[in-house]
Amino acid sequence: MDFDPLSLYTATPARDATSFASEPLSSKVKSPPLKQSEALGSESARIYDDICNDEENDDMVPLHILDLPLLRLQPPYAVLVIILKLMAPDEVLNFERHPYQQSAKRDEDTIFKEKAVSSNQLQEALPWLVKNSSRLRTPFQLSCVPHLASALRSNFTNEYNAYMTRIISNELSWLNEKEKEEIHSLASLRISENCGRMAQPQLKRKIQLAHLEQYGRKYIFLNEPSMTNDNLGLKTWGSSLILGSRLLREGQRAPLLQTPVLELGSGTGLVGICCCLMGMTTTLTDLPQIVPNLKKNVELNSLEANSSCVELDWSAPQGSPVYGKTFSTIVVSDPVYSAQHPYWVVNMIDLFLKSNDSQNSTPYNVLIEVPLRPKFENERQLLWDLMSENFTEMESDIENGFDDFGEMKFCYKRFVRK
């Protein structure tokens, strides 16, 4: 494949990297049935109460590597697992981590629930933390870690990675085998998360789009396995966010969308999922290695009823379950990152789009969204030239957007058959 993933990257100015229903977890810890002196010991309880009186601004003080548990003190499993879980990056909202807003702080219970920290783990960890930690000794102080960890990861990357490496290389002889395995696994994840998008492990992306709520949803959820050079479809790209936003914004107005819809190169399925939410019977397609995750994302958003996910190799469409079928609308986003792709894309559009029908006054549309990447001008122009042979351009628009690789301009075009 004549594709370099670095060609997707566009340098942008550095930004501040700091970001931050059941019975409350912290209430179980802060106000247990036992007195503090019984739960922590009288001396620990006295220290604990002093800390609680002086923790008001802990969320504003930067976190340092030396604030984390020292391995030579043999921190118990509960301490290590809590710290490693709290150090995990926040879930991705669109293409950014949740911003930390002073006016809208998440409460302790919400944070612990999001990070899968249990009340039992907190209860077990607090006595050790009160005795051995200079900074992280109360539920509130622990709840500040996710917000503060982002700056620690970005400003002290070497120290952060070195701390995680020390955990991985340590035999952790005071823990049992199952506990060791989990701690080593979590530390490995924290390192990979800090090594750029191409090295990051699986993530769950939460998509928030304008007008989504009028279709009964607040978010779209997308699972993204670890990204590799040959499986770029396992990632959500900015083009799909822009095209999905357009579809939701313009709704079902004629002549934009008609059912059934075919999405080419669905990837994680964002555009196809938007079509499903709008009531369109939608077929999402991609290569065999991409389809399992595509199906998972459709299920994640409970849209199996009016959708299907099938394999479609643009170079050999005869083997696809959709071969021989035609569709009223074809949507495709970011399909060109190889010299051969423009030919394949246009062939698929010509093969699967319905022919003009004199009895149907509404045209059958092809909706294409592509990023204006500097290194792909020739491929984009070839795509438009090939489309112009049998299709008429009806709309064109340039929009600003971004994805994990930086800011970008995107080009939208709508075509119909000549």
Same-domain check for residues 84 and 145:
yes
How many Cα atoms sit within 13 Å of 23 on the Cβ side? Answer: 8
Q: Indicate the Cα dihedral angle 384, 388, 391, 395, nearest 10°.
A: 60
* Residues 118-158: tens digit of each pLDDT: 999 999 999 999 999 989 999 999 999 998 998 898 899 99
Domains contained in the chain, number: 2
Distance CA 148, CA 87 (A): 9
pLDDT at 206: 87
DSSP annotation string for 382-417: HHHHHHHHHEEEEEEEEEEEEETTEEEEEEEEEEEE
Cite the DSSP H helix spans in 10-156: 25-30, 36-40, 42-52, 77-86, 108-114, 119-132, 139-143, 145-155
CA geometry: angle at 290 spanning 235 and 341, to 5°?
80
Q: Which of 226-235, 316-325, 335-344 shows the lowest per-residue confidence on average (mean pLDDT)?
A: 226-235
Residue 104 has pLDDT above 80, yes or no: no
| Share above pLDDT 90 across residues of the chain, in percent, rounded to a whole number | 62
Structure tokens at 191: 């390192």
User: In 3D, which of 289, 294, 284 has the Cα closest to residue 222?
Assistant: 294
The residue from 199, 218, 243 where one domain ends is 199
Record the tokens describing residue 249, joined without a space.
């914004």
Which pLDDT score is estimated for 119? Answer: 95
- Domain range spanning residue 181? 5-199
Give the model's pLDDT for residue 373. 86
pLDDT of residue 1: 44
Contact indicator for 36, 45 with CB cutoff of 8 Å: yes
pLDDT category, 255, cuts 50, 70, 90? low
In tens, the pLDDT along 53-100 reads 455 555 678 999 999 999 999 999 999 999 999 998 877 677 665 444
- In angstroms, the CA 275 to CA 257 distance is 8
Are 180 and 325 contained in the same domain?
no
Residues 167-194 have pLDDT tens digits of 999 999 999 999 999 999 999 989 988 7
pLDDT at 198: 53
Do both 209 and 183 map to the same domain? no
Q: Does residue 264 contact residue 240 with C-beta atoms inside 8 Å?
A: no
Q: What is the pLDDT of residue 17?
A: 34
Which two structure tokens, joined as six digits, stand for 293?
């995750």
pLDDT greater than 80 at residue 269: yes
Phi, psi (degrees; rounded to nearest 5) at 345: -60, -50
- In the chain, what percentage of residues exceed pLDDT 70? 77
> Same domain for 45 and 121?
yes
Domain boundary among 199, 223, 242: 199
Alpha-carbon span 253 to 115, nearest angstrom: 41
- Give CA–CA dist 136/26, Å, rounded: 14
CA–CA distance, 374 with 350 (Å, rounded to integer):
28
Distance of CA 321 to the CA centre of its chain: 29
- The predicted structure's pLDDT at residue 16: 38
Q: Which of 164, 199, 234 is the endpoint of a domain? A: 199
Q: Do residue 267 and residue 407 come from a single domain?
A: yes
Task: Please give the single-letter amino acid code of residue 24.
Answer: P
| 370 plus 406 within the same structural domain | yes
Dig out the tokens for 377 from the structure: 């001008």
Q: What is the pLDDT of residue 254?
A: 60
Question: Looking at the structure, do residues 151 and 265 belong to the same domain, yes or no?
Answer: no
Strands 307-311, 282-286: pairing kind: parallel
- At 404 the pLDDT is 61
The pair of structure tokens assigned to 385 is 């030239």
What is the model's pLDDT at position 196? 61
User: Where does the pLDDT of residue 204 fall: very low under 50, low under 70, confident under 90, or very high at 90 and above?
Assistant: confident
Q: Are residues 211 and 104 in the same domain?
A: no
**Side by side, which strands form the sheet with 261-264?**
307-311, 282-286, 261-264, 329-333, 365-371, 406-417, 391-403
In this structure, are 88 and 63 located in the same domain?
Answer: yes
| pLDDT, averaged across the chain | 83
What's the pLDDT at 55?
53
Q: Let me know whether 110 and 68 are in one domain.
A: yes
Q: Based on the domain organization, do 140 and 217 belong to the same domain?
A: no
Reduced to 3 DSSP states, what percent helix, strand and coil does the chain have, rounded to the nearest 5? 45, 15, 40
Q: Residue 327 is part of a domain; what is its CATH number?
A: 3.40.50.150
Cα angle, residue 401 at apex, residues 399 and 402 outer, rounded to 5°:
155
Residue type, 386: L
223 and 166 assigned to the same domain: no
